[in-house]
Amino acid sequence: MSDGVVSSGWDVLDASHEALRTAVRAVPADGWHRATPCTDWTVAQVFQHAVGDQIGYAAALTGEPGPDFNPFAPSGEMEGVDPVAFLEDALARAAKAWAGVDRDAAEVPVPVPPHKLSPWSGSAACGLDAAVHAWDIAVATGRPSPLTPELARPLLKIAREIVEPLRPRAYAAALAPEQGDDDVAVLLRHLGRDPRWSA
Structural domains of the chain, count: 1
In a domain, 34, yes or no: yes
Q: pLDDT grade, residue 3 (50/70/90)?
A: low
Count of CB atoms situated within 10 Å of the CB of 137: 29
Q: pLDDT grade, residue 144 (50/70/90)?
A: very high
Q: Is the pLDDT of residue 137 over 80?
A: yes
User: Across residues 104-111, what is the average pLDDT?
Assistant: 98
User: Across residues 146-150, what is the average pLDDT?
Assistant: 97
Q: Is the pLDDT of residue 192 over 80?
A: yes
User: At 22, which CATH number?
Assistant: 1.20.120.450
In a domain, 5, yes or no: no
User: Across residues 127-143, what is the average pLDDT?
Assistant: 98
In a domain, 176, yes or no: yes
Integer Cα distance of 137 and 145 in angstroms: 9
In a domain, 199, yes or no: no
Integer Cα distance of 16 and 126 in angstroms: 9
Instruction: Identify any residues that bridge with 109 across adjacent strands, giving them in sequence order.
Output: 116
Tell me what pLDDT residue 91 has. 98
Domain span at 56: 11-190
In a domain, 71, yes or no: yes
Each as own residue / partner, the long-range contacts of residues 115-124 (CB below 8 Å, 24 or more positions apart, any chain) are 115/60, 117/161, 117/162, 120/10, 121/158, 121/161, 121/162, 122/57, 122/98, 123/8, 123/10, 123/12, 123/13, 123/98, 124/10, 124/12, 124/13, 124/154, 124/155, 124/157, 124/158
Distances (CA, A) of 98 to 30, 45, 50, 55, 137: 34, 25, 17, 12, 24
Q: pLDDT grade, residue 199 (50/70/90)?
A: confident
In a domain, 198, yes or no: no
Integer Cα distance of 35 and 40 in angstroms: 8
User: Across residues 102-109, what is the average pLDDT?
Assistant: 97
In a domain, 6, yes or no: no
In a domain, 67, yes or no: yes
What dihedral do alpha carbons 63, 68, 69, 71 form, nearest 10°? -30
The predicted model scores a pTM of 0.96
Q: pLDDT grade, residue 1 (50/70/90)?
A: very low
- Would you call 144 exposed, middle or buried from its count of C-beta atoms within 10 A (0-12, 13-18, 19+)? exposed
Q: Is the pLDDT of residue 169 over 90?
A: no
Tell me what pLDDT residue 124 has. 98
145: left (phi over 0), alpha (psi -120 to 50) or beta: beta
Q: What is the pLDDT of residues 59-78, one digit of tens each?
A: 999 999 999 999 999 999 99
What single letter denotes the amino acid at residue 8?
Answer: S
Q: Is the pLDDT of residue 32 over 70?
A: yes
Q: pLDDT grade, residue 27 (50/70/90)?
A: very high
With CA atoms as reference, report the closest residue to 100 among 154, 140, 64.
64
Least confident among 3-12, 73-82, 105-114, 188-197: 3-12
